[in-house]
């Protein structure tokens, strides 16, 4: 069954009052609730720059496209909630059939539980006794929830078992924690680097009275950053290693026959290869879980170029659409060929490529947006961005112009905004704000 969350708590976000704490909101809206702002359907021109927005049509399209892609292959989807840390968007993904929400650490798990997410996967090892005690308490208080964690060494399992045993002695037994054995790849991130280690970890989990061996996990995205054939072969070989661990655990009889084992992989860059290699496991009764997160907004940079449903598709289905945009204002033209705008590293992602200039908003009523070519973002400081263009021609921008930027890498965009306006159409003269999304970082 898909996971659930507490929709009443999500709805209660409408009652939050906006003020100076939310840089997306103009002073004219300070003191209003989120619902009151939304009901006024303000225009983009009524919000200050710098600003980041989400496109409602693109969000809907991306969410439904990947949900359908998984359903057609009988995969489960546990989208990585860390991308947005927005319970409103998690609720939409769960409503579309997501099996769980994936997070990366205790703080993010705390947000998920605060909003009542019933099944959560922590895509990391959890070895802090404080974190494990809290997980045990949470499971004891809410016996129907599921919290899944990863382990890549016997030492990790020992630390988990010790902490959970201590808590059981103090407070009584709690439902066991589901553990996935993490298989890593050479040059990748965490994860056991060979089959023998993976099996030893699984045996240690199976032997613990406080843990349940749930399956095998992996992450292929750290092993390649393009999609030439050599990179795809590296990803395929790694995913075959993940499958090999799972098959060994089946052969050893380490799984509980009453519970379908989970094999999970998949960021937003190579989910086509995950489908290719892990797909056959579905016919064996295995639950194959994709954990993509960035797909929900896609982008105008890294994922546009590498996604299987990006600019150069590698799988069937509609192309994903960029839902993220920044809106900035030109504030200075100190020399020919140079202009600066009012957003920097504290407002815009820059780790997977700098923003790209897309269009200039209308300068006067009745004008239309103007696509801009030959204008490039060359750098960002803390609060300023640098535009470069031909110093010998007529300047394509002037002080006061508002520009739309395409962004690269959703995972480092959302953490810069606590409240994100959702607009009806980023291509029209003056988009309408149709919602506000609250993030928790």
- Eight-state DSSP code of residue 104: S
Q: What's the confidence (pLDDT) of residue 172?
A: 85
The string of pLDDT tens digits covering residues 378-436 is 999 999 999 999 999 999 999 999 999 999 999 999 999 999 999 999 999 999 999 99
Q: What's the confidence (pLDDT) of residue 106?
A: 97
Q: What is the mean pLDDT of residues 79-100?
A: 98
Whether pLDDT at 321 is above 90: yes
Residues 6+ apart with CB under 8 A from 280: none
- Eight-state DSSP code of residue 376: E
- Report whether 245 contacts 199 (CB < 8 A): yes
Quickly list DSSP for 189-248.
SSSBSSHHHHHHHHHHHHH-TTEEEEEEE---GGG-SS-SHHHHHHHHHHHHHHHHHHHH
The string of pLDDT tens digits covering residues 6-60 is 999 999 999 999 999 999 999 999 999 999 999 999 999 999 999 999 999 999 9
Whether pLDDT at 289 is above 90: yes
- What does residue 57 show for φ and ψ, rounded to 5 degrees? -60, -40
What is the CATH code of the structural domain delimited by 7-54+320-438? 2.40.37.20
Instruction: Specify the length of the chain in residues.
Output: 441
Provide the residue ranges of all domains of the chain, joining segments of one domain with +.
7-54+320-438, 118-292
CA pair distance 80, 290, nearest whole angstrom: 9
Q: What's the confidence (pLDDT) of residue 401?
A: 98
Q: What's the confidence (pLDDT) of residue 170?
A: 93
User: What does the block give as tokens for 93?
Assistant: 């993904």
Model-level pTM? Answer: 0.96
Q: What's the confidence (pLDDT) of residue 8?
A: 98
- Eight-state DSSP code of residue 149: E
Location of structure tokens 């004219």: 28
Q: Is the peptide bond before 50 cis (omega within 30 degrees of 0)?
A: yes
CA pair distance 235, 256, nearest whole angstrom: 29
What is the CATH code of the structural domain delimited by 118-292? 3.20.20.10
| 3-state SS, residue 183 | strand
Element (H, E) at 88: helix 87-95
Taking the CA atoms of residue 162, residue 164, residue 166 and residue 170 in that order, the dihedral angle to the nearest 10 degrees is 180
Whether pLDDT at 241 is above 90: yes
**Mode of pairing for the β-strands spanning 146-151 and 177-182:** parallel
């Amino acid at each position: 069954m898909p996971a659930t969350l507490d929709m009443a708590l999500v709805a209660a976000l409408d009652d939050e009052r906006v003020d100076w704490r939310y840089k997306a909101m103009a002073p004219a809206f300070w003191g209003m609730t989120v619902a009151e702002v939304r009901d006024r359907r303000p225009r983009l021109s009524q919000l200050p720059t710098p600003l980041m927005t989400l496109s409602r049509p693109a969000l809907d399209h991306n969410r439904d496209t990947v949900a359908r892609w998984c359903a057609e292959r009988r995969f489960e989807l546990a989208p990585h909630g860390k991308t947005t840390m927005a319970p409103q968007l998690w609720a939409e993904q769960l409503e579309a059939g997501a099996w769980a929400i994936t997070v990366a650490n205790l703080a993010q798990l705390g947000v998920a539980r605060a909003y009542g997410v019933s099944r959560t996967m922590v895509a990391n090892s959890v070895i802090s006794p404080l974190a494990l005690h809290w997980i045990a308490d949470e499971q004891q208080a809410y016996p129907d929830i599921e919290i899944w964690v990863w382990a890549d060494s016997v030492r990790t399992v020992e630390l988990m078992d010790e902490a959970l045993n201590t808590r059981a002695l103090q407070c009584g037994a709690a439902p066991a924690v589901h553990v996935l054995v993490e298989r890593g790849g050479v040059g990748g991130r965490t994860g056991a680097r060979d089959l023998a280690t993976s099996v030893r970890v699984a045996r240690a989990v199976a032997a613990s009275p406080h843990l349940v061996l749930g399956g095998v996990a992996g992450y292929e995205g750290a092993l390649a950053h393009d999609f030439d054939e050599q990179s795809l072969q590296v990803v395929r070989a790694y995913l075959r290693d993940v499958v090999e661990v799972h098959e060994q655990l089946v052969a050893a009889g380490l799984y509980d026959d009453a519970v379908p084992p989970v094999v999970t992989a998949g960021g937003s860059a190579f989910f086509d290869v995950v489908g290719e290699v892990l797909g056959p496991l579905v016919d064996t009764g295995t639950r194959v879980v994709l954990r993509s997160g960035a797909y929900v907004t896609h982008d105008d940079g890294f994922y546009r170029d590498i996604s299987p449903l990006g600019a150069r598709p590698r799988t069937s289905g509609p192309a994903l659409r960029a839902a993220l945009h920044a809106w900035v204002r030109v504030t200075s033209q100190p020399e020919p060929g140079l202009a600066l705008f009012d957003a920097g590293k504290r407002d815009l992602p820059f780790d997977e490529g700098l923003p790209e200039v897309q269009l200039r908003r209308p300068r006067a009523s009745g004008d239309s947006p103007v696509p801009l070519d030959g204008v490039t973002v060359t750098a960002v400081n803390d609060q300023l961005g640098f535009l470069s263009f031909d110093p010998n021609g007529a300047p394509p921008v002037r002080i006061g112009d508002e520009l739309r930027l395409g962004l690269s890498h959703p995972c480092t965009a959302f953490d810069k905004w606590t409240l994100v306006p959702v607009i009806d159409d980023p291509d029209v003269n003056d988009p309408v704000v149709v919602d506000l999304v609250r993030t928790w970082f």
